[in-house]
A and B are shown apart, each in its own frame.
Chain A
Amino acid sequence: MATDKHEHLETVLETHRMTHVQNLVDKFKEKRNEVKQALANHYGSDIYYPFDSGSFKKHTAINTKFDLDVVVPFKKDSFDTLDKMFDSLNDFLDDEYGEIATIRKQKVSIGIIFDEDDDGDVINLDIVPGRELNKDQYSADNKLNLFVYSKYGLFSSSTYIQTNIQAQIDHIKAKENERKIIRLLKIWNNNDGKEYKSFLLELFTIKAFDKEDISGNIWEKLEKVMEYIKDNATKDGFKLIDPGNSNNDLMDTLESWGKTNLSNRMETIIERINSNSDNIKSYFPTNKDFEDDDKSSSSVGYGIKTGGTAYSTPPKNERFG
């Protein structure tokens, strides 16, 4: 049984759309707005109004794994040091939500993981504090300094990183083809050990579209992007420059074995899919929760419930209009 790769990938994207989890997304957004308001109230004129970033904003989110990112741009004079800013935000969130959520310091953000609600849903927010680079210039240049938190404390080499989150968001704007591939690669990564940062896959994809002729149907595009990653991941001098900071090369976040692994992974996946199209389902699975039942197995004939009675009796009262 051969699989139509193009059709399958369309289904993969369809079943991973955020609209399938609209209720959950609404809950996330509600919480996010609540937190944004609380931050605005608490920090007042020390900050510019918090704004959204991350995969939602970039339209590359998938419904199997997502969180919402909020950036809090602090004014230059708000804190003497970036670590004070980071700690202050952590303390505030802990005071505010510590009873109903786990608050934890992450690399450049504070994570809020709300306790499981009655529906069994866990809401996850990442709050990224940044301080404007140049006094009163944030509105004009969008440049922020982020504090880089290290669990290993004092000996960490870099304690801050300059970035421009708005530029990162703009980088992917109006690139629908790229977004599809990014979503597919995220779906793969999420299903295959979660070894790679989404941002890395995002930059790889955009660069591939930029440098190569990426065309054809969705499988052909995906294959070409994967070929590009395979060929370039281990290449000396290959860079993936962060659009928010030209000194930040995302390739530096991979060790050399990580680069080799990524290249090998791409090679194996392409090889397996081309040797048997059914293998595409192992690497790029549909989200079974939202697969259209029409397309599933028993789509012909009149259906009978298994284990039911021999004949039916209609329910007592029914109204028709």
Chain B
Amino acid sequence: MEFLDDVTKLISDIPFVEKVYDFVEEDLLIKGKVTISFKELSTPLEFVVEVYKCYPLKNYDSDSIKFKNLNLLEYRHVMGDGAICIHTSHHTNLKSKLNYDFHSLKNWIVKYFINKDQDDHYEHIIVDEKLINNQYRSFLFTDIEYSFEKGEFGDVTITALQNGGFRGDSISNHIVQSFIRRSGEQLDCQWSNLYKNMGISYTGAYLFIERPPANFGKFIFTKWSDLLDHLPKAFLNFLLEFQKKFIKERGKLFPVFFGYKIDEVNIHWQVALLEIGGFPIIGYQLPNKEWITTPRNELDINWGITRNSSYKYFFGRGSFSQNFIEKKILIIGVGAIGSMVAKTLTRCGCKFIDIADYDIKEPENVCRSEYQFNTGLMDKTEELKIILGTISPFVETSIIEKDYFQGIIKLYHKEKGAKSNFENSLNQYDLVFDCTTDNDLMYILDSLKIKCDLTNLSITNFAKELVCAFYPNIYTFAMNQFMNVLENDTTDLYKPTGCWSPTFKASYNDISLLVQMAIKHIHNLYETGSRKNNFIIESDSSTLKIVEY
């Protein structure tokens, strides 16, 4: 009883709370009503208040106090159960927290109820993500280069991704590949080729309805009757035909995507899952043989889950600058350093990353690179291409002929005309990273006359320093650093069993720390347009220091 008493007492002390009543204690919470009244509010507002017993702490990640009023559904930031979304903050003191939260409620009232403020940013409509036939189903979509007319419809092709667990049940995940207009025109989603080239698992349908299928602009329709005005006759006939044609597959789910604009340029899709044989339509044949199809309004709509995975959303939380992500990048040598560079650039939104290496990934490479054990032995480039593709659906990666850099270039670099061939092939890129630690290759590349930016990355034994050199001052600088300036102790290299060449000793943690710092600095040089001075990153147990040359 103590909690109940404390809370009600403290709430009554809040000046703009006019009445506090009907508070009772339940298992997990206490519940009652309050009336809010202040000068700017013409008539007082009543809210149901629920305070969970963990209050003032949060319940998982959500607020442990709720203010509900089902009459306010039309206003911004009100959930389907009438709960107001308010900004809360962390407090451990009951009184402070109650004061803060009630003031947040008051702020909401002023901003959205009284002033009817419409935020600039779009708020997604609220969909109750339901289990359908004991499984969740998600559909990820991205941008396409075309726009849709209201009422247009057609086929949708879909590729299944992996299944997995989701909120304690199973989920099947999918990507939307393309929208096929009735004219046959195919509008492809802008995924990378890796995804575009995956097989089509099945098809669905789409209908562009232009406006969100939602009440108050935010609560998704629940019955087919809500959608009635949006369903053109031709579309209903299309569904009828489809069901007839595939009636043998009775019981299978058929996704129907409803598209609408969320602003002038962007569109969003919601997906309804229809069961073949149980489509919410009835077809009649008129005496003149014409078919009429009408929806079965009383049925519930089974909404699946959709997510906008377009580039803008995918990298919305952080990426490299626009200028950098558009660069055509080549990484030569994808061992420890190269694979980290590739993966980091991919996660930072880079769109074109080609890779070159002749080497095989062995189990012993896994511990300090981005490779995986479960793929066994594999060409490093083959595996990295898959890894990059599984991270980002927007990165295009090609594998350069494995012998090109460390074999062919070395064999032929003295031949007449060969250099200009190499130069042309490198000039297709904006930015080339040489992470091979191959002095011969470094020598040859540095002697070419290239227009692209060439950056060489290497580290000393025990990852004490990272050496970064920029074309055209790579070879002399890097060699001098390793031979003379840095104390590169090579008496204690790691020598794998057998006849392989020894390699430096350092852990994933040692190397990635330096590589991340180097990439950050390099990106910064591009962003600020500063002169690209060669640099060394010196590390010890507590500091990293960039020394520019």
On A, residues with C-beta under 8 Å from B are: 1, 3, 116, 120, 191-194, 261, 264-265, 268, 272, 276, 278-279, 281-282, 285
Contacts and interface: CB of A to CB of B under 8 A. Distances in A.
Contact of B480 (A120, A192, A265, A282): A282
B473 interface: yes
A163 B547 CA distance: 43
Contacts, number: 41
Contact of A193 (B414, B473, B547, B548): B473
A185 to B, nearest CB: 15
A121 to B, nearest CB: 11
A34 B201 CA distance: 74
Nearest to B485: A278
B549 interface: yes
Contacts of B533: 268
B476 A285 contact: yes
Given A116-B416, A278-B484, A272 B549 contact: yes
B177 to A, nearest CB: 47
27 contacts: A1-B484, A3-B484, A116-B416, A116-B417, A120-B414, A120-B416, A191-B472, A191-B473, A191-B476, A192-B473, A193-B472, A261-B531, A264-B531, A268-B533, A268-B549, A272-B549, A278-B485, A279-B549, A281-B480, A281-B484, A282-B473, A282-B476, A282-B477, A282-B485, A282-B534, A282-B549, A285-B480
Interface string B453-484: 00000000000000000001100110011001
Contacts of B473: 191-193, 282
Contact of B485 (A194, A261, A276): A276
A192 B548 CA distance: 13
A174 to B, nearest CB: 32
A17 B531 CA distance: 30
Interface of B: 414, 416-417, 472-473, 476-477, 480-481, 484-485, 531, 533-534, 547-549
Contacts of B548: 268
Contacts of B476: 191, 281-282, 285
A21 to B, nearest CB: 16
Nearest to A275: B547
A191 B480 CA distance: 13
Contacts of A116: 416-417
Contacts of B534: 282
A307 to B, nearest CB: 16
Contacts of B472: 191, 193-194
A279 B485 contact: yes
A4 to B, nearest CB: 13
A285 B469 CA distance: 15
Contacts of A276: 485
Contacts of A268: 533, 548-549
Interface centre among B417, B484, B547 (most CB of A within 10 A): B484
A278 B416 contact: no
A116 B420 CA distance: 12
A262 B28 CA distance: 71
A113 to B, nearest CB: 12
Nearest to A2: B484
B382 to A, nearest CB: 35
Contacts of A278: 480, 484-485
Contacts of A193: 472-473
A264 B531 CA distance: 10
A193 B477 CA distance: 13
B141 to A, nearest CB: 45
A261 B531 CA distance: 8
A260 to B, nearest CB: 9
Nearest to A264: B531
B453 to A, nearest CB: 12
A265 B533 CA distance: 9
A194 B473 CA distance: 10
A120 B472 CA distance: 21
Contacts of A194: 472
Contacts of B417: 116
Interface centre among A3, A194, A282 (most CB of B within 10 A): A282
Please provide the 6 A-B residue pairs with the shortest distance between their CB atoms, ordered closest to farther.
Answer: A278-B484, A285-B476, A281-B480, A282-B480, A282-B477, A278-B485
Contacts of A281: 476, 480, 484
A69 to B, nearest CB: 21
A120 B477 CA distance: 27
A190 B139 CA distance: 57
B530 to A, nearest CB: 9
B176 to A, nearest CB: 48
Contacts of A1: 484
Contacts of A261: 531
Contacts of B547: 272
B276 to A, nearest CB: 67
A265 B534 CA distance: 11
Contacts of A3: 484
